[in-house]
Structure 1
Amino acid sequence: MAKVNISVTDEGDFIRSASRFDARITADGQSPWPVAADRYRLVVSLACPWASRALISRRLLGLESALSVAVADPIQDDASWRFTLDPQGRDPVLGISYLSEAYLAADPSYDGGVSVPAVVDIPSGMLVTNDYLRLTTDLATEWRAYHRPGAPDLYPRHLRAEIDAIVETIFDEVNNAVYEAGFATTQQAYSRAYHKLFARLDALSERLESQRYLVGDTITEADIRLFTTLVRFDAVYHGHFKCNRHKLSELPVLWAYARDLFQTPGFGDTVDFDHIKRHYYRVHTNINPTGVVPEGPDLSTWHTPHGRERLGGRPFGDGTPPSPIPEAVGRAYAALRD
């Protein structure tokens, strides 16, 4: 099992490390990494909210045939993310046992953390980027040549300023705030994160009471970024990270909003609660030293009616939902997650 290194300030506040590899894959030829089908492999953990953003975006945009995916074991060891879900413990495309091998191929002297999502150049085996903040907007904009017919515009130009502003707030006060609460090492640091988180959730509840989506009348990048925290809230953050003023299921507006997205093709069909719970409860031994994984919560409630249709909105705008996951692919995907 991995020994997770958490950085905190002298006051006990959690510090998130910046992405060390931030190259961009672009369509304009200005980057050494051009957009190309079948050249790159997206490495994810189904447990990780940052990686889940990329999985959702990839599915909504129909990039499955252009950008393949490697799924890491949710339980890390000291070498971090590993491919023990695959035969012989190696990713069948990259031929590596650990994601760290791609990091070292990019920089042999690298001795920092290994994170997902990560995009690896298949021919060279080198890590291109682990910049989770930028990756999904690039999938929405730079990879347009490979979007499926009817793909939604997840980052519409006329709404970008508004999307950028709200996702910055969501990152600071929701996505990262749950970690700040969970990894705080003083009561004061925990209290700051706790109150910041729930103040923002209250504000988001107020915003979403009268509109179906965060920005405009369609699903955008902003909704993806909020969803990946909300879907983990009751299973992990409420108990494990002590974000326990309320469960998500006790916040009527956000609970309905999250269920609406979960039941939208491309969202819930990328979620794996087993991987989520096993990762957090077994890897974070500083918080849960026994490694016991809780049985709950009841996941059937994610499929209950949400009533958000009354607010109108067009989930995919002028586009269409992604096709159902093909049965053969679905079986292989499910087997990989077991």
Structure 2
Amino acid sequence: MDKATEGSDGNTGYGKKPFKRSRSHFADRITADGRDGWPTEAHRYRLVVSRACPWASRALVSRRLLGLEEALSLAVADPIQDDRSWRFTLDPGGRDPVLGIRFLGEAYDARETGYPGGVSVPAIVDVPSGKLVTNDFQQITLDLATEWTAFHRPGAPDLYPEPLRDEIDEVMEGVYRDVNNGVYRAGFATEQSEYEDAYRDVFRRLDLVSERLTDRRYLVGESITEADIRLFTTLVRFDAVYHGHFKCNRSKLTEDPVLWAYARDLYQTPGFGDTVDFDHIKRHYYQVHAGINPTRIVPLGPDLAGWSAPHHREDLGGRPFGDGTPPGPVAAAERIAPVGCPAPR
């Protein structure tokens, strides 16, 4: 997400033009062979996220599932931005304790002075130089799964298995276009026809995904993959934000028995629900998007207790972590206090 879009994370403004998400400007990759000049290295880089942002949440889930917490440190920005971008006001003194900066924009400036675009998360910063390395939200998680293998925990799942990549990519493309990005196209629409087209795309794709998941536990294969991570981060925000705030209100997630059970299954899987902060999510969307919600009132609902209800998806078989194992407990410094929602088991 970036401030230029009133929190929409797309590097294009909320205004009179149709919402269009632009490509990440800083697309360097951190790879095992260091071919872009950034080799994978423990303790060298810092992942900067907002727990409100669905794109950043992908990286949070991947990092947790793969056990990269020790190798790749974490900075969490305040869910409420100001005109100077994502800020570290959650930290003592209002500075990130590792990078020593008050605003993520400072790392962007260190990389490219006068960069005209928005300051977005997720972002990975090189700690020694203080420079932004990448804000390529589409590639970051793929590289965590494939380029950081030397630092994966024992028993880490294969989130992007090579034999399934073509199918995963195909599923993710449709989900990204119509669901992940579709809710934003609806929410930031400024013309009725633009909104209606996006609305129809969202629910057409959700219906297709629901049908696909009727008799299979996960989107591709027998285990959790990158495709599930990318769908989950939108589904978990759907009733709390997108249904009302972005006017995607044909039906709630809780009204689709298949998708609701699928989302609960993932939420209750270690590495998913324990990265979700509903307080940050709701406060960000309702308080930052003043063009959509000028009163900035944050709704009390929906009731979040249902996220811990039995889902029975295990009856479909499948092995969540494939040949691997679940991640261990969340580190004390990264635990999220539950707000109106029982902690995932």
Once residues 40 and 330 of structure 1 are traced to their aligned partners in structure 2, the CA distance between those partners, rounded to angstroms, is: 17
Residue from 173, 195, 203 that aligns with 1:190:
195
Offset of residue 324 of structure 1: 1.3
TM-score by length of 1: 0.95
What corresponds to 2:158 in structure 1?
Answer: 153
> Helix, strand or coil: the match of 1:231?
helix
What corresponds to 1:144 in structure 2?
Answer: 149
Residue 83 of structure 2 corresponds to residue 69 of structure 1: no
8 A contact 1:178–1:241 mirrored in 2: yes
What corresponds to 1:293 in structure 2?
Answer: 298
What corresponds to 2:102 in structure 1?
Answer: 97
How big is each residue's C-alpha offset from its partner over 1:257-304, in whole Å with a ceiling of 9 and x where there is no partner?
A: 000000000000000000000000000000000000000111110000
| Letter paired with 1:28 | D
Offset of residue 16 of structure 1: 1.1
| Letter paired with 2:321 | F
What corresponds to 2:256 in structure 1?
Answer: 251
Residue 13 of structure 2 corresponds to residue 7 of structure 1: yes
Once residues 100 and 15 of structure 2 are traced to their aligned partners in structure 1, the CA distance between those partners, rounded to angstroms, is: 38
8 A contact 1:4–1:283 mirrored in 2: no
Offset of residue 42 of structure 1: 0.1
Offset of residue 7 of structure 1: 3.2
Residue from 180, 198, 203 that aligns with 2:208:
203
What corresponds to 2:125 in structure 1?
Answer: 120
| Letter paired with 1:248 | L
Once residues 152 and 27 of structure 1 are traced to their aligned partners in structure 2, the CA distance between those partners, rounded to angstroms, is: 18
8 A contact 2:4–2:118 mirrored in 1: no
Unaligned runs of 5+ residues in structure 2 are 7-11, 339-345
Residue from 109, 115, 120 that aligns with 2:114:
109
Residue from 330, 333, 338 that aligns with 1:329:
333
> Helix, strand or coil: the match of 1:34?
coil
What corresponds to 2:242 in structure 1?
Answer: 237
Offset of residue 31 of structure 1: 2.1
| Letter paired with 2:316 | L
> Helix, strand or coil: the match of 1:119?
strand
Offset of residue 29 of structure 1: 3.1
Once residues 15 and 228 of structure 2 are traced to their aligned partners in structure 1, the CA distance between those partners, rounded to angstroms, is: 31
What corresponds to 1:88 in structure 2?
Answer: 93
Residue 20 of structure 2 corresponds to residue 20 of structure 1: no
TM-score by length of 2: 0.93
Unaligned runs of 5+ residues in structure 1 are none
| Letter paired with 1:220 | T
What corresponds to 1:222 in structure 2?
Answer: 227
| Letter paired with 2:276 | V
8 A contact 1:56–1:266 mirrored in 2: yes
Runs of 4+ residues deviating >6 angstroms:
none
> Helix, strand or coil: the match of 1:239?
coil
How big is each residue's C-alpha offset from its partner over 1:188-221, in whole Å with a ceiling of 9 and x where there is no partner?
A: 0000000011000000000000100000000000
8 A contact 1:9–1:15 mirrored in 2: no
> Helix, strand or coil: the match of 1:43?
strand
Offset of residue 13 of structure 1: 2.4
Residue from 174, 178, 190 that aligns with 2:179:
174
| Letter paired with 1:157 | E
Once residues 117 and 13 of structure 2 are traced to their aligned partners in structure 1, the CA distance between those partners, rounded to angstroms, is: 12
What corresponds to 1:50 in structure 2?
Answer: 55
| Letter paired with 2:239 | D
Once residues 107 and 204 of structure 1 are traced to their aligned partners in structure 2, the CA distance between those partners, rounded to angstroms, is: 40
Once residues 296 and 4 of structure 2 are traced to their aligned partners in structure 1, the CA distance between those partners, rounded to angstroms, is: 13
Residue 52 of structure 2 corresponds to residue 33 of structure 1: no
Once residues 169 and 190 of structure 1 are traced to their aligned partners in structure 2, the CA distance between those partners, rounded to angstroms, is: 18
8 A contact 2:62–2:145 mirrored in 1: yes
